[in-house]
Chains A and B, each alone.
Chain A
């Protein structure tokens, strides 16, 4: 929460005044969160990197106008979800997350193959979800946001958050291989 006097509030203030060092620290703190949410929604590492770049450029330009009406985290997640959904609608064929997973791993081969197979299945299933349900699911499962935080990010009632999550989970349960669930 960007309460006055908190470290993040000080960084925001400094970055809003043009301090690149403060802004790089904000990027360092929030980069993975933005990338994870973007990747979960667009389903491609390359696209997620582009989305994350856009988000931080927007952040840089908007910081002077940022009013602490909502927590900084919620605000940043909101910008990320909106940017990711926009990118999704303009999506060009890129290397999908499944293909990326096949090339980037440092685990022992057998474990890596198993994990990658599961990840690929899960990613395919998530990408098949409607945008709205996908965003809610990614925020809950990848970022562990509470229902209230998700409602704040997506600007919807808590009841809608619950129904979207429930819908997403029902669809995933139908589409995921029961064996890949049992391995957990």
Chain B
């Protein structure tokens, strides 16, 4: 066997070699004075380090240690909410799912109105708003200038092409929901990454 290197000698001393390797090293040591001397050097260092191990007399007595510790433990433990880390991602997940559901519903309604199954939303708005403006309590609640402005806006609306009406209605709705959905997804991913780190740290023990 070639001379064992320092790492191997140290592993031999620490009892960390496999059985076969340990026998080979021992066979070599029995025949090689230089390696025996190197091993003795490792043994001396190890013995010196272990002799320098801090002994009990250096530290406070067990009773004193416990008394100091117990005074810090007297407060009730902070309540532990094991599900607390899951609340934000669950809420974000619910928000994202709801938004996605609404987007899907609006797309479906748009398609149905395009096929003529339901009235086009753009066309339905004007008569509905006209009727709303004639409800007595709304008429009384809004100022006259607001009502006049609203009626004028409705007339301009009725003059628009139906495709323009559809774009004005559906566009902002879908865009707004898409922005909310993107925000929810981004926050969810960000939280998942931060939470994962915290979980790893927690499982690593204490820091």
Contact partners of B205 in chain A: CB under 8 A: 75, 78-79, 82
Q: Write the A29-57 contact mask toward B (1 if CB under 8 angstroms, else 0).
A: 00110011001100001001100110011
Pair B14/A101 contact, Cβ less than 8 Å: no
Complex: A173 Cα to B46 Cα, angstroms? 10
Partner of A61, one of B6, B48, B77: B77
Contact partners of B65 in chain A: CB under 8 A: 27, 31, 49, 52-53
Which residues of B approach A to under 8 Å, CB–CB? 6-7, 10-11, 14-16, 41-42, 44-54, 56-60, 62, 65-66, 68-70, 72-73, 77-78, 80, 82, 202-207
User: Is the C-beta of A62 less than 8 angstroms from some C-beta in chain B?
Assistant: yes
Pair B45/A173 contact, Cβ less than 8 Å: yes
Complex: A36 Cα to B54 Cα, angstroms? 6
Partner of B57, one of A61, A104, A119: A104
Complex: A137 Cα to B53 Cα, angstroms? 12
Complex: A58 Cα to B204 Cα, angstroms? 13
Partner of A57, one of B7, B44, B73: B73
* Chain A, interface residues (CB within 8 Å), range: 35 or more
Residue of B nearest to A101 (CB): B58
Complex: A24 Cα to B69 Cα, angstroms? 10
Complex: A97 Cα to B56 Cα, angstroms? 13
Contact partners of A137 in chain B: CB under 8 A: 49
**Chain A contact residues, majority secondary structure:** helix
The 19 sampled A-B contact pairs (Cβ below 8 Å) are A28-B62, A35-B54, A39-B58, A53-B65, A53-B68, A53-B72, A60-B73, A79-B205, A82-B207, A101-B58, A106-B57, A118-B48, A118-B51, A140-B14, A147-B11, A162-B7, A162-B16, A163-B7, A172-B49
The 5 A-B pairs of least Cβ separation, nearest first, read A122-B52, A141-B49, A79-B206, A184-B47, A78-B205
Pair A169/B10 contact, Cβ less than 8 Å: yes
B84 to chain A, nearest CB (A): 12
User: Is the C-beta of A94 less than 8 angstroms from some C-beta in chain B?
Assistant: no
Besides the contacts A20-B73, A31-B65, A126-B49, what 16 more A-B pairs have beta carbons closer than 8 Å?
A23-B73, A28-B62, A36-B53, A39-B59, A40-B53, A49-B65, A57-B73, A58-B206, A78-B204, A82-B205, A122-B48, A123-B52, A147-B14, A165-B10, A166-B7, A176-B48
